[in-house]
Amino acid sequence: MALTWIQLPSTRNRASIARRLRQAAARITTAAITAVDARYEWFGRLSPEHRASVTLVARAGVDGFINWFGEGGSDRPVQIFERAPRELSRHLSLKQTVDLTRTIIDTVDAEIDEQLPRADRPYLHAALNEYSRDVAFAAAEVYAAAAEVRGAWDLRQEATVVDAVMRGEVDDAIMSRVATLGWRSTSGAAVVLGTCPADGAETALEATHRTARSLGLDCLTAVHTDRLVVVVGGAPLGPDADLVAVLAPLAERFAEGPVVVGPRVEQLAAAGGSARAALSGLRAAPGWPQAPRPVHADDLLPERALSGDGHARRALARDVYGPLAEAGGGLLETLTCFLDEGLSIEASARALFVHANTVRYRLKRIHEVTGYSPTDPRDSYTLRLALTLGRLLGPGTA
């Protein structure tokens, strides 16, 4: 934009002013860096290499102003960060860069009164005011571009990590990538799976990260085909946590349909097990249309077993049938009879030739031993399948 802020001097006079300003450029740059060093502690903490980069930017700012003024307010974009944009965006925050540019501009403004003749000053002050706005836009463009590059890089890294979790191949190389993505949790992790919203994967990923942060959780997300994969970790996922209750707000970030929470694992490196269970649960979820949303993968063990998940079959045999067989006391016999008699305590008592209170006591013990209540329709379905699988596979199934 051509200068319109004041009646410009003639081309010859403008060139003379620019020449005098150029002669003072080194002193002005030194004064600017001195001012930055005096005002901001962060500058002193930079490495010599990075301080040199800042000095280059300061000199580029002064030289850029001189050239811009000499050309009468050139339409060319201000590019004072061209020499070290990578250094600035990597080692200085946007606020620090704003402070840096403001200090440079203020110093140049003050040095004009010190270094230049009185007749030159009005033109230079007015021009500097215009130039400073272009510098501000240039800084914003540098950080916007850097943020875009970092965002794309982060998305690729995040997708790579989530893919490794889904394949159960989280090694040291993957864990080093996780640290760069802001994962801080050292214990407690789980995987949540559901359908990705059709209106945009990027929006869903951003919204999921916001929700996870509001819950105090570390979060990694990615989209696999039509599935939204969410890996979470943090203190809220403690050993005694109700995962479904803690992670319920995340269900809103998925499209309609089942949302399955994999079991808690101790650390991210073992999250492949949680992912496998969640994926198995998502495939089997249509078998239980009334399932809550979200639903824990372990609550879908019957459907998972029937859909061909060997882990689920072995879990039912080992963790349900096995403890009942070990407990003795007629629990297996009572459970079998109770299920065969249509969940009737009285009919079971008659068939077993025991008092009804004995049946009630044994049913309570079954609940204590397995975590499933024989009198609950859903739990009785799980117990029935566990009995069958336990007989087929044996209680000691690994």
Q: Indicate whether 6 pLDDT > 50.
A: no
Calculate the alpha carbon distances from 210 to 178, 201, 207 in Å: 18, 14, 5
pLDDT confidence tier of residue 151, bands split at 50, 70 and 90: very low
CB 229 within 8 A of CB 191: yes
- Domain hosting 67: range is 11-149
For residue 122, the Cα-to-chain-centroid distance in whole angstroms is 52
Residue 173 domain flag: no
Tokens representing 61?
Answer: 């700012």
pLDDT confidence tier of residue 17, bands split at 50, 70 and 90: confident
Q: Indicate whether 362 pLDDT > 90.
A: yes
Q: Which amino acid is at 180?
A: T
Q: Which of 149, 172, 207 is the last residue of a domain?
A: 149
Q: Do residues 37 and 58 both lie within one domain?
A: yes
Q: Do residues 193 and 113 both lie within one domain?
A: no
| CATH code where residue 259 lies | 3.30.70.2730
The percent of residues in the chain predicted with pLDDT above 90, rounded, is 44
Q: Do residues 269 and 369 both lie within one domain?
A: no
Q: Do residues 290 and 322 both lie within one domain?
A: no
In the prediction, which pLDDT does 390 show? 94
Q: Do residues 208 and 78 both lie within one domain?
A: no
Q: Indicate whether 360 pLDDT > 50.
A: yes
Residue 99 domain flag: yes
**Averaged pLDDT of the chain:** 84
Q: Do residues 295 and 207 both lie within one domain?
A: yes
Q: Do residues 30 and 145 both lie within one domain?
A: yes
Exposed (0-12), middle (13-18) or buried (19+): which is 79, by Cβ within 10 Å?
middle
In the prediction, which pLDDT does 327 show? 92
CB 55 within 8 A of CB 115: no
Residue 198 domain flag: yes
| CATH code where residue 71 lies | 1.10.490
- pTM (predicted TM-score): 0.64
CB 295 within 8 A of CB 260: yes
Q: Do residues 386 and 358 both lie within one domain?
A: yes
pLDDT confidence tier of residue 67, bands split at 50, 70 and 90: confident
Residue 2 domain flag: no
| CATH code where residue 379 lies | 1.10.10.2840
Q: Please state, as a whole number, how many other Cβ atoms lie within 10 Å of the Cβ of residue 274.
A: 26
Residue 60 domain flag: yes
Three-state SS letters, 318-359: HHHHHHHHHHCCCHHHHHHHHHHCCCCHHHHHHHHCCCHHHH
Higher pLDDT, 5 or 18: 18
pLDDT (tens digit per residue) in 86-134: 545 556 666 777 777 788 888 888 888 888 888 888 888 888 887 777 7
Q: Which of 149, 171, 201 is the last residue of a domain?
A: 149
Q: Do residues 209 and 295 both lie within one domain?
A: yes
Helix-strand-coil split of the chain, %, nearest 5? 70, 5, 25
- How far is 398 from 18, CA to CA, in rounded Å? 84
Q: Indicate whether 160 pLDDT > 70.
A: yes
Does a cis peptide bond (omega within 30 degrees of 0) precede residue 323?
no
pLDDT (tens digit per residue) in 180-225: 777 888 889 999 999 998 876 778 888 898 999 999 999 999 888 8
Residue 158 domain flag: no
Q: Do residues 330 and 271 both lie within one domain?
A: no
Q: According to the per-residue pLDDT averaged within each range, which of 23-37, 51-65, 136-150, 238-252 is highest? A: 238-252
Higher pLDDT, 123 or 238: 238
The vertex-159 CA angle with 157 and 162, nearest 5°, equals 110
Residue 272 domain flag: yes
Residue of 227, 252, 111, 257 whose CA lies nearest to 159: 227
Residue 140 domain flag: yes
In the prediction, which pLDDT does 214 show? 92
Q: Do residues 349 and 237 both lie within one domain?
A: no
Q: Which of 299, 323, 339 is the last residue of a domain?
A: 299
Q: Do residues 93 and 188 both lie within one domain?
A: no
Tokens representing 131?
Answer: 């130039």
Question: What is the number of domains present in the chain?
Answer: 3
